[in-house]
Structure 1
Amino acid sequence: MALPSSGDNPEFYCSDTGIWTPIDQMLFEEARIYRWRTSYREPFQFFALGMPISMVRTVTGWEGEWTAPFQSGLLTFTIEQAERITLETYLFPDKRKITEAGYTQMIADILAEAAACFQHCGAYLKFDSKGFARKTSLAQWDYIDRSFYRLQQWFRDIQARPLRRLTTNDQWIRRENVKHVTPALLAWSERHPGNGMSREIPVPELVWSGVREDTYSVYENQVLLRQLRELQHLLREYQSISLDAIRSKAGYYLDRVNGWLRSSFLQQLQPHAGSVVVSQVFRKHPIYRNWFSWFQQLYQFNEYSIGLQSSIPLKDTYHLYGIWVFMQLVKILRENGSLLNSSDLFTLEQNGLVLNLSETKESRIKLVGGATLAYQRRFKPSTLDFVTYTHDMIPDIVLEVEGKLYIFDPKYRIDRNLPMALGEMHKYRDGIVRSTDGSRAVEEVYIITPADGKENSILFGNDYMQKHRMGVYTLKPGEGNMKLAVKLMDIMRGSIEVMI
């Protein structure tokens, strides 16, 4: 449908050209704030991608501000005046935008470094990091340790209401104990007339009749007993390894399993022998289904894959970029021999081994000389070594070396916003202090961004960094940054010398 007349046509202010441009001629760029105006005086509604745009009345008409979404693609404006008008245009990527190929490269880089760290972690813990069915492995123990509490809850629920069925067994019983007169009993009485004590009591003293009893001897309980005995055997194997932390926990879990095996409803059962099939109960019963699924996963570690803990939509590229930068720093430290233990990076969920990296959740790896590299480390007034005196602070990446903190903050920002972003880093330098004497704990702060630094090149220079102990590094998928690697190793040099 045609747009309103030129006088009523909304105009957007283009900061690059400095002029007001009609909406049908405007080139929109994602993640930017645009001012708009129109001389149309009557009330109307203005939508972008179905979301209303705020506006205020002015002397000449209406005006407002609109923030473009952080995702390029088709852009639809809707104007509802006397009639409904729709305009389709395109939202272009901003200059810092990582392409789809770069996005894919970040995913590949993260998972490749995760695999390398897992191999390093497996070697450090003296485990076969690949794992295989029916034998102990690091991945299997991690699964048991992190999900045993769920198994414990499920067994409590099963123990409170175990499956059972009503069975009928034919046997000789005394006449007065007969509770149900069945067709079989009547037929037996007709076949044996005159065997009673008298005409008034024609039924004999002993009668061949069926006795109904509840039994827990059902297929699902037999499989459960078999699985518990397998878990008992597996935990005994973990009790025999050399690591004290795993051996003590395995003993605790084994005591729990031994207690479960003494449950009354399991005493009359024999474990299931033969192949195990998925019954309707294992498919549909809410508790038995979870129980069965847990044991199915217990041996699925012959082939495992490492993935991210949750899917990250394309519009949240900034989140993925932060994880990617962290893993790139881990890679630099690992290749230079500074990595000791990266096991805290991983967790095990129902769908497999995943990187335990997410917003507001701290993950920390151990480096040589007692140094650490942390993702989303939280500082607050009650933390032990370092505290804040205002509010909680969570820098993205914190490198701690010999009691000094170095902060690297990934920022998915364009060049023109970098000075403001770097100014925000002062809160870390001034707000995080040592708990012992209140002295500043943060030595240096740096921003890592995909921006090229053409507009604020001074922030990327060595002179600026050496003078102010802060600055900006460029890091893009598919491209390394030797300056950043050298900076990391300079910080770690003192810690490495201590090890030597």
Structure 2
Amino acid sequence: MEQRNSGGNFWLRLADEEWNVLEEAYLTEASTYEWKYVMDGNEQPPLIHFCDMLHLPHRLEEGEAFGQLTTPFFSGQVYFDINGMKLGSYIYPDARKMTEEQYDLMLNDILQEASLCFEYSNIETEITADQHSLELSLAQWSYIEASFSSLRTVVRQIIEHPIRVLQAHEQQMRREQVKMVDSKTLVWIERNSGRSTTGNIPTTVKSSVREDSYNTYENRLLKRRLLDLRHLLKMYGKSGRGNYKIRAEAYADKVGHWLRDSFFRKVTPYQGVIKISQVFRKHPVYRQCYQWFDRLYKHGNEQIGMSYNYPLRETFALYEIWCYMQLVKIFREKKLLKETSGLFRTTREGLFLHFAENNESIVELKNGMRLSYQRVFKHNGKDFYTFTQDMKPDIVIEAGEFLYILDPKYRIANNLGTALGEMHKYKDGILLIRNDRKAVQNVFILTPVQSDEIRYFKADFHERYSMGAIALMPGKDSPSLEKWVDKLVHGGDLI
């Protein structure tokens, strides 16, 4: 009986679009898809596994199973297991998102700026800095928690499809098993034929055997890195620093599970000088793995951590904090920081940046202004109020009775107008208690979108309507934002 093609029975689509069979579906990362499985005759409901999801939940309707799945926040080869049949697919990068390198750059920028801002706080505690430190640090732990899932993905891909080389070694074997006769084999036979009672070829022959070997430089270095990581995680587990103790031990167990795989059992840890080989430069999976470990020990220079660790799928939240800290950086470089203790909280585990929801982290400036993160405005506020609903813009600059609002928007490449239209609720809906006048003078979207052609980014649009969009991309300068802050600080005409 011909084996049924489970892939042909499995269909995917984005909401309200056409269905496509799995082999024709175009999947992008961090996207939600509807799926259906068409059952044949009296077939039982399907068992479908995808990435880390053990069994996709579904509902049944007239011989078909329906459900939803969300692709992970990475691109590359993935597999579906449908009723025990393994079917491959590919997840393509989301053009709207930043790269993983930019994500890591944002995390570094935030923590480095936090270290510089700490001296403007009144918190009495000691923090240390060592550019090449191998000591435990909250910043390093933040990196591990944020990116361990991506390491798990690349290690799993390496275990399933490791690189290998063909290596030759000499081995004693029966003469009928010899597949290759080279000069060494002939010399051995000539030397040992006289030992045979008949003077012929001996029963066992020493010959060269070529076998696939996984003991390459790249695999050996990876095993060394994983051994070091397991040791590091055990150190975090033994440190007893609060609630990450259990997670550190779980991570260490996971790394140990990888090392016990039959693939790594065939690999000897590398002990020499580390170099970047062509495989690490060009192979997409091995390159990602090398970069992950390369970044791991670059987080030893900050002893301030994040109170919440943002995984890759929550890059939008990290982008909001990064934008806020970029504004803090601009004010710091203008020597205007006065009090920054609102950015931090201390616990028995250490010193943390604290951007919890409704926390309203506030930085006081020397010129009397206040820079707030996710400040909440209610109908019964002290100085400002709303007459419709509670509002919580991401970034608020308060200058006396005037407010200036900046709202980071991570994924609005095709919806700038809609996103900017939503900013009217801040511009028109936040009023002064004293006289019911509108308090918000400017509203701007901060976005990684870079375009000089879109009118929302143009200076004349900003001046005419007191709103617009400002490009802010990790790794790039933002002269528009700095120019706007200059006008604000020096009393320029922003209205």
Please name the residue that 2:117 is paired with: 117
Please name the residue that 1:196 is paired with: none
- Is the CA contact 2:343–2:362 (under 8 Å) kept in the aligned structure 1? yes
- Is the CA contact 1:29–1:68 (under 8 Å) kept in the aligned structure 2? yes
Q: Which of the numbers 327, 334, 349 marks the counterpart of 1:351? A: 349
C-alpha separation between the residues in 2 aligned to 1:304 and 1:480? 23
Note the alpha carbon deviations across 1:252-283, whole angstroms, 9 max, x for none. Answer: xxxxxxxxxxxxxxxxxxxxxxxxxxxxxxxx
- Is the CA contact 2:30–2:313 (under 8 Å) kept in the aligned structure 1? no
Counterparts of 1:203-242 in structure 2, within 5 Å, are none
Counterparts of 1:363-378 in structure 2, within 5 Å, are 363-378=361-376
Counterparts of 1:23-172 in structure 2, within 5 Å, are 23-34=22-33, 44-45=45-46, 48-49=50-51, 50=53, 52=56, 67-72=70-75, 75-79=78-82, 83-121=83-121
- Is the CA contact 1:448–1:472 (under 8 Å) kept in the aligned structure 2? yes
C-alpha separation between the residues in 2 aligned to 1:328 and 1:412? 15
C-alpha separation between the residues in 1 aligned to 2:441 and 2:338? 23
Q: Give the drift of 1:451.
A: 2.8
- Provide the secondary structure at the position in 2 that maps to 1:52: coil
Q: Which of the numbers 2, 5, 13 marks the counterpart of 1:3? A: 5
- Is the CA contact 2:112–2:302 (under 8 Å) kept in the aligned structure 1? no
Q: Give the drift of 1:329.
A: 0.5
Q: Which of the numbers 442, 445, 448 marks the counterpart of 1:444? A: 442
Q: Please identify the structure whose Cα radius of gyration is greater.
A: 1
Q: Which of the numbers 324, 336, 342 marks the counterpart of 1:326? A: 324
- Cα 1:61–1:310 change in 2 (3 A) is closer
Q: Give the drift of 1:11.
A: 4.8
Q: Give the drift of 1:415.
A: 0.8
* CA-based RMSD: 3.7
C-alpha separation between the residues in 2 aligned to 1:57 and 1:470? 50
- Cα 1:383–1:318 change in 2 (3 A) is same
- Is the CA contact 1:371–1:495 (under 8 Å) kept in the aligned structure 2? no
- Is the CA contact 2:431–2:438 (under 8 Å) kept in the aligned structure 1? yes
Note the alpha carbon deviations across 1:442-479, whole angstroms, 9 max, x for none. Answer: 2221121223359x833323233333322222222211
C-alpha separation between the residues in 1 aligned to 2:302 and 2:101? 26
Instruction: Give the letter aligned to residue 10 of structure 1.
Output: W
C-alpha separation between the residues in 2 aligned to 1:56 and 1:401? 58
The TM-score with structure 1 as length reference comes to 0.54
Please name the residue that 1:482 is paired with: 479
C-alpha separation between the residues in 1 aligned to 2:125 and 2:72? 46
- Cα 1:420–1:495 change in 2 (3 A) is closer
- Is the CA contact 2:337–2:365 (under 8 Å) kept in the aligned structure 1? yes
- Provide the secondary structure at the position in 1 that maps to 2:321: helix
Please name the residue that 1:387 is paired with: 385
- Is the CA contact 2:378–2:389 (under 8 Å) kept in the aligned structure 1? yes
- Is the CA contact 2:12–2:33 (under 8 Å) kept in the aligned structure 1? no
Please name the residue that 2:313 is paired with: 315
Please name the residue that 1:400 is paired with: 398
- Cα 1:2–1:322 change in 2 (3 A) is farther
- Cα 1:436–1:73 change in 2 (3 A) is farther
C-alpha separation between the residues in 2 aligned to 1:54 and 1:484? 48
Note the alpha carbon deviations across 1:300-324, whole angstroms, 9 max, x for none. Answer: xxx9922222322222222222111
Instruction: Give the letter aligned to residue 351 of structure 1.
Output: E
Instruction: Give the letter aligned to residue 371 of structure 1.
Output: M
C-alpha separation between the residues in 1 aligned to 2:340 and 2:25? 49
C-alpha separation between the residues in 2 aligned to 1:61 and 1:91? 25
- Is the CA contact 2:471–2:480 (under 8 Å) kept in the aligned structure 1? no
- Is the CA contact 2:396–2:406 (under 8 Å) kept in the aligned structure 1? yes
- Cα 1:22–1:375 change in 2 (3 A) is same
- Is the CA contact 2:58–2:65 (under 8 Å) kept in the aligned structure 1? no
Instruction: Give the letter aligned to residue 31 of structure 1.
Output: A
C-alpha separation between the residues in 1 aligned to 2:303 and 2:37? 55
> Is 1:494 matched up with 2:491?
yes
Q: Give the drift of 1:417.
A: 3.7
Q: Give the drift of 1:330.
A: 0.3
C-alpha separation between the residues in 2 aligned to 1:469 and 1:105? 31
- Is the CA contact 2:373–2:395 (under 8 Å) kept in the aligned structure 1? yes
- Cα 1:304–1:40 change in 2 (3 A) is closer
Q: Give the drift of 1:365.
A: 0.8
- Cα 1:467–1:488 change in 2 (3 A) is same
Identity of aligned residues (%): 36
- Cα 1:77–1:322 change in 2 (3 A) is same
- Is the CA contact 2:404–2:440 (under 8 Å) kept in the aligned structure 1? yes
Instruction: Give the letter aligned to residue 433 of structure 2.
Output: S
- Is the CA contact 1:373–1:400 (under 8 Å) kept in the aligned structure 2? yes
> Is 1:461 matched up with 2:462?
no
The TM-score with structure 2 as length reference comes to 0.55
C-alpha separation between the residues in 1 aligned to 2:459 and 2:58? 44
- Is the CA contact 1:381–1:392 (under 8 Å) kept in the aligned structure 2? yes
C-alpha separation between the residues in 1 aligned to 2:95 and 2:384? 38
C-alpha separation between the residues in 1 aligned to 2:482 and 2:337? 14
- Provide the secondary structure at the position in 2 that maps to 1:89: strand
Gaps of 5+ in 1: 132-283, 285-302
- Cα 1:380–1:76 change in 2 (3 A) is farther
Note the alpha carbon deviations across 1:338-371, whole angstroms, 9 max, x for none. Answer: 2222122122111222212223211101113321
> Is 1:473 matched up with 2:470?
yes
Instruction: Give the letter aligned to residue 319 of structure 2.
Output: Y
- Is the CA contact 1:411–1:449 (under 8 Å) kept in the aligned structure 2? yes
- Provide the secondary structure at the position in 2 that maps to 1:369: coil
Please name the residue that 1:258 is paired with: none
Gaps of 5+ in 2: 129-239, 241-300
